[in-house]
Structure 1
Amino acid sequence: MPFFVVLCMILANSILFVDSNTTASVPSSIVSASAIANTCEQLQGPVVPTCVYLHSNVAILMEIEDTPSATCDLLCQAIINSDELGLNKQLASQVFTLWMTSPLLELQLKPTHKPYEIRQSWRALVGQYSHVSSNRQQRDEPKIMFQRNIFFPQHLEEKIKDQKILELLYEEARHNILEGRYPCEVAHYIMLGGIQARVELGPYNPQVHSTHYFREEQSKYLPIHVRKSSTWTWLPISSKNSAEVRLLEQFKRIPNSATNRKLMKKYLEFCWSLPFYGSAFFEGQVEQPVRGLTSLITYQDIPVLVAINSKGVYIIDDTQCSLLLGLRFEELSWEYARPSKEEDPNCLPCLFIQFMVVENGARVSKILQVFSRQASLMDTLITGFVNHIKAKTNDETDKAYEQQISNDNETHSSLTVGTTHHAPSLPSLTNKLSKLTLATFDEEGHCIGQMGSWSFSY
């Protein structure tokens, strides 16, 4: 199965698969290359030009024999073997993989998945897992992204020295920062924006890099909730605490001797310190606490992002870009629940998350309900990570229990209301529980607090 690969700068948000009966237009700036999979059989089948995108504003245009049969693993190897990217082939094959993403759904593909088939099934997948109207679903166009494999261990990533791989990881981390997916302090966003500006603009030039310049270009360096409202960008004056002034000051502080390599590594080192780094993201909603009559009248669910990585689960306010709840796997139990009225499209599946806190001097159990059509995907991913942790722990502590564990049919932790022997440890992150609607249980399993739509009978 021959591959022909070309690299080009992304000029537009083009459609994932080009009709095989049309000729793809190729900008003159494209550098052509070929990455031939010599070990593959020569298969006869349609050739559908396929674009794979990188977060570095580069697209890889691939022509693959028998495109419908090409697997994710095969496409990844073709990309990694491309001389233009210059990647360390052995390491890159572990760090990166293919994702199918759109504004409505993001899926990491398994090595045996066939991207063409996933693309053909996209409408059905979006219909099953998205929260938007059917009209919006029909307009959704996915892209194939070459990005970090969520299962690649972070402690190994932090040891990588290959510059090409670090650059791709930096670009992906920058994307998540600018999209507000990695909540942090405003000062940290300013610091990261300054580093990014230095990488992209070079050393400070007072003739070019003014407050006005960063006021006009701040969307390139800061997430939307940090930068100045576009309504007021016409004002010629900026306060000393404005985002653009602070961004310029941070940019000016970076010494001329700083290399892009060191700057990207510094950027990544900060992102590695974030507990939710390297997460997969899912859309959901949680009930807003009702306080008073006015709150009841204006009551709406809070849209959230559920970030899941190898360490734990994190609930992020998608509007305010703030961390509401962060729990390591050893601090939580969870349960997936199908909708009680499956025929009702407004009745959503949910994920119950249980954790322990100290309240008024006593240990109590809290349960959060996250509503989402993607709850089953979250459950599957959490199950995979927890099973991996269990297997690793058992392997390190007592080999004799391996067979017993493998025969255990329980695939995930059940809610442990009132069972202190299995109760998770206290959360290590600072959580904003007052912004969540939670049910509370004492150590005997009695419900001592109900909020929102919670209703229990004992």
Structure 2
Amino acid sequence: MGRSVREALNIPDSAQDAFAFWLCSPLLELQLKPKHQPYKLCRQWQDLLYRFTEASEEDIAQDEPCLQYRRNVFYPKTKELQIKDEGVLKLLYDEARLNILDGRYPCDPEQWLALGALTCAIELGIGLDERKVAADIREKKLSSFLPGHLVVGGGFLSTLRGKGGRQAELEQKLLKEYHSLSQNPSQDPTYLLRQYLSTCHTLPYYGCAFFSAEIDKPAQGILHRGGHKAVTVGISLEGVYVMDVKEKHVLLGLRFNELSWDHSYPEGEGDSHILWLEFDGEEAGTPVNKLLKIYSKQAELMSGLIEFCVELRSAGDGAATGTDGEVVPAQAAPAGQVGSTERPRGNRRGKLRRQSSVVCSRVHSLSTISYVDDGKEIKALKPKRAASFFSRQAQPQDYTAVQVAESLEQG
């Protein structure tokens, strides 16, 4: 079936590993392995939903998956930049654009404006009269060029100004960016597509597989009530990213050389599957280890994907998986760059950035478990069933892996 689809889409053999089959619905998304038979998995879809989602029986009964041919989560960005075929670039652009518009790839203003202008140039043409472009934008709707939550949303002042005023302001900004882009009218479609994808590559979560989950809210008020916050967890060859579903920004972003992880199963009725992420942090100026609990029935899938991505990177510093399931080495990433699993012994990781950018981590807004591993008065803070990849490295690391424990304390 893969060969038939590639022939229909005119995908050259050199780019066949860039795509894979996915079974997707509003409730669950799964990238299929080459050995999987989509028809059989469709027959088992309800069982998969019961296993990996919290959906109601009614929603599960009404849910139907569709088979999609999408970007392969194991395809390195370095190889994607080498693609020259316009048809393949257009397929990758279409998927990336949809993720931008849906808010799956959070962007800062300068990014979504640049991407919106590139979309105008790709979809409408370059060097057009401003009135013509404005008319086309209104006809297609602004949400076809800019993220929907920006067009529809807005703060209190935006509400007072009105939806029309907000959209007019966004339209003017988009037209200005398009005019700046049109200063070089000789840019061909392939160049524009590559520019769009290159801009997306600056987003660390580009190419991720996404999972639905929840995390603890920090305790607030006199009664210290917390609750859960809905998040999306993105996992790629480069790391793990936890994003706020409502606010459309990153809460925590970790490369694989910055974390340990574990998956724990429910131990009693009412308990949840949990994906544990362990990373370096700071409390009142003191370096500490932090644990983030991610509640999701898809924790098992996330843990398995993390482990597989780590193994791929260990096998070739950026290996890719071919359509036949074999590990194919890609260009090695120099130590210290994104995705490199090497870290000098005896050095702590650098502090996570805490800026206003949607891409930067917001560790201060997370409810985490903190502990100091200095050999003194260490309480039982670590989760059970340790599965840190650091314990499997060829060279010993200075990082302490997640270990068996009996109780937890919130920090």
Same structural fold, with TM-score higher than 0.5 when normalized by the shorter chain: yes
Residue 312 (structure 2) pairs with residue 388 (structure 1): yes
Residue 279 (structure 2) pairs with residue 279 (structure 1): no
Residue 260 (structure 2) pairs with residue 303 (structure 1): no
* Structure number having the greater helix percentage: 2
Q: Which residue of 2 aligns with 1:362?
A: 286
Shift in Å, 1:229: 4.2
Shift in Å, 1:239: 5.9
Secondary structure at the aligned position of 2:149 is classed as coil
Shift in Å, 1:448: 11
- Rounded to whole Å, the distance in 1 between the matches of 2:14 and 2:29 is 24
- Rounded to whole Å, the distance in 1 between the matches of 2:216 and 2:163 is 42
Q: Which residue of 2 aligns with 1:258?
A: 187
Question: Conserved in 1, the CA contact under 8 Å of 2:272 and 2:297?
Answer: yes
Q: Which residue of 1 aligns with 2:298?
A: 374
- Rounded to whole Å, the distance in 1 between the matches of 2:362 and 2:163 is 38
- Which one of the candidate residues 268, 290, 293 is aligned to 2:197? 268
5+ long unaligned stretches in structure 1: 1-74, 396-420
- Rounded to whole Å, the distance in 1 between the matches of 2:201 and 2:352 is 17
Q: Which residue of 2 aligns with 1:81?
A: 7
- Rounded to whole Å, the distance in 1 between the matches of 2:176 and 2:31 is 39
Residue 44 (structure 2) pairs with residue 91 (structure 1): no
Change (3 A) 1:220 1:194: same
Shift in Å, 1:223: 1.7
TM-score (norm 2): 0.76
Q: Which residue of 2 aligns with 1:238?
A: 165
Q: Which residue of 1 aligns with 2:370?
A: 440
* CA displacement, residues 128-149 of structure 1 (integer Å, 9 cap, x when unaligned): 1112211111111111111111
Q: Which residue of 2 aligns with 1:455?
A: 408
Higher relative contact order (CA 8 A, sep 6+): 2
Change (3 A) 1:213 1:151: closer
- Rounded to whole Å, the distance in 2 between the matches of 1:126 and 1:144 is 16
- Rounded to whole Å, the distance in 2 between the matches of 1:115 and 1:278 is 22
- Rounded to whole Å, the distance in 1 between the matches of 2:28 and 2:368 is 27
Larger radius of gyration: 1
Mapping of residues 144-223 of structure 1, within 5 Å:
144-203=67-126, 204-210=128-134, 213-214=137-138, 217-223=141-147
Shift in Å, 1:197: 1.8
Shift in Å, 1:252: 2.7
* CA displacement, residues 257-296 of structure 1 (integer Å, 9 cap, x when unaligned): 3322211111100111221111100000001111213872
Q: How many residues align?
A: 347
Question: Conserved in 2, the CA contact under 8 Å of 1:368 and 1:437?
Answer: yes
Change (3 A) 1:316 1:360: same
5+ long unaligned stretches in structure 2: 320-344, 354-359, 383-406
Percent identical pairs in the alignment equals 32
TM-score (norm 1): 0.69
- Rounded to whole Å, the distance in 2 between the matches of 1:254 and 1:423 is 44
Change (3 A) 1:120 1:185: same
Change (3 A) 1:248 1:155: same
Change (3 A) 1:81 1:163: same
- Rounded to whole Å, the distance in 1 between the matches of 2:380 and 2:168 is 46
Cα RMSD, aligned residues only: 3.2
Mapping of residues 89-168 of structure 1, within 5 Å:
90-168=13-91
Shift in Å, 1:240: 9.6
Change (3 A) 1:93 1:240: closer
Q: Which residue of 2 aligns with 1:56?
A: none
Secondary structure at the aligned position of 1:434 is classed as helix
